Amino acid sequence: MIGALESGKPAFAAFAPPEPSAALDFAGSAYDGLVFEAEHKPWDAVNLRDSLQYLLDRRRIFESGTLAPSPTPFVRVPVNGAEQGQWHAKQALDLGAYGIVWPHVSRVEEARNAVAACRYPSLPGTERFEPAGLRGDAPAAAARYWGLSTQDYYAKAGVWPLDPDGEILVVIQIEDQLGIENLPAILGEVPGIGLVLIGEGDLSQELGVPRQLEHPLMVEARQRIVAICREHDVVVGHPHVTARNAEQVLDEGYRFLMTAPVRSYPGLDRARELAGR
């Protein structure tokens, strides 16, 4: 996913429950990334561990010329930004996730905590980067999942783009008006935020127009977020891309597009129609 963003092209991802069956469904898909959803799903580290494994397609990895799985796995953690949590991120990264999605980030200190929780405190050549890392040291499982030695994993486990060679992506979600107001300061004072994802559901709730995503208040809020991200040269993500709005989303400057797969039942639909049901 970082490769797509570095090339200037959009990256594509979806949410999925942290369950092996869901991981299998996505393993052969054309998505760049898959975000295992643990904010509104139960936190189950064992299921997450198994899901990460089931996402791996060895032939696809072999033919791609890179050790990174495609789609590349990320985790949305349960804690809100204001809760300043770190241990969910630590466990997800230790299992091998390539990045963390942090919901409900509204203040500078919350964004700083998000980046710090994903960084080791003192790795050779990275001491110059701020904010200082807070991630605990237990790299064995992650290094094995990435197909690297421990020392090679350390070299790649920096936060991108804070560390240009890093392959950990920190995503913050802006989901309220306070977050929008503080976004210029967040992006100006906290290096290491790889992208900003708009939390449309909660934002629409706060604005009093729940799930009315095309309401003028929502349109204005999204436009403000996109403009701020563009000013600070930070990728902005749209969480609800469909066949109907994809062209508009790209035209508006979004470079991280989350689009859910559509499940259909043509045989069932046709049979019910013929049966008068």
* DSSP assignments along 95-107, one per residue: HT-SEEEE----S
- Span 62-117, pLDDT tens digits: 998 889 899 999 999 999 999 999 999 999 999 999 999 999 999 999 999 999 99
Whole-prediction pTM value?
Answer: 0.94
Q: How far apart are CA 198 and CA 252, in angstroms?
A: 14
Q: What is the pLDDT of residue 124?
A: 47
Q: What is the pLDDT of residue 64?
A: 87
Closest CA to 25 of 263, 256, 257: 263
Q: 154: how many CB neighbours lie within 10 A of its CB?
A: 18
Closest CA to 69 of 97, 37, 48: 97
Q: Is the separation of the CB atoms in 16 and 36 below 8 Å?
A: yes
Q: How far apart are CA 205 and CA 211, in angstroms?
A: 7
Q: Could you write out the three-class secondary structure of 19-43?
A: CHHHHHHHHCCCCCEEEEECCCCCC
Q: Is the separation of the CB atoms in 157 and 167 below 8 Å?
A: yes
Rounded to a whole number of angstroms, the distance between the first and last alpha carbons of the chain is 45
Quickly state the pLDDT bin for 129 (edges 50, 70, 90): low
Domains of the chain plus CATH, in order, are 2-274 (3.20.20.60)
When the pLDDT of each residue in the chain is averaged and rounded to a whole number, the result is: 94
For every residue of 68-118, DSSP letters joined together read: S-SSEEEEE-SS-GGGT--HHHHHHHHHT-SEEEE----SHHHHHHHHHHT
Q: Is the separation of the CB atoms in 153 and 198 below 8 Å?
A: no
Closest CA to 254 of 236, 234, 242, 241: 236
Tell me: pLDDT of 125 over 70. no
Tell me: pLDDT of 130 over 80. no
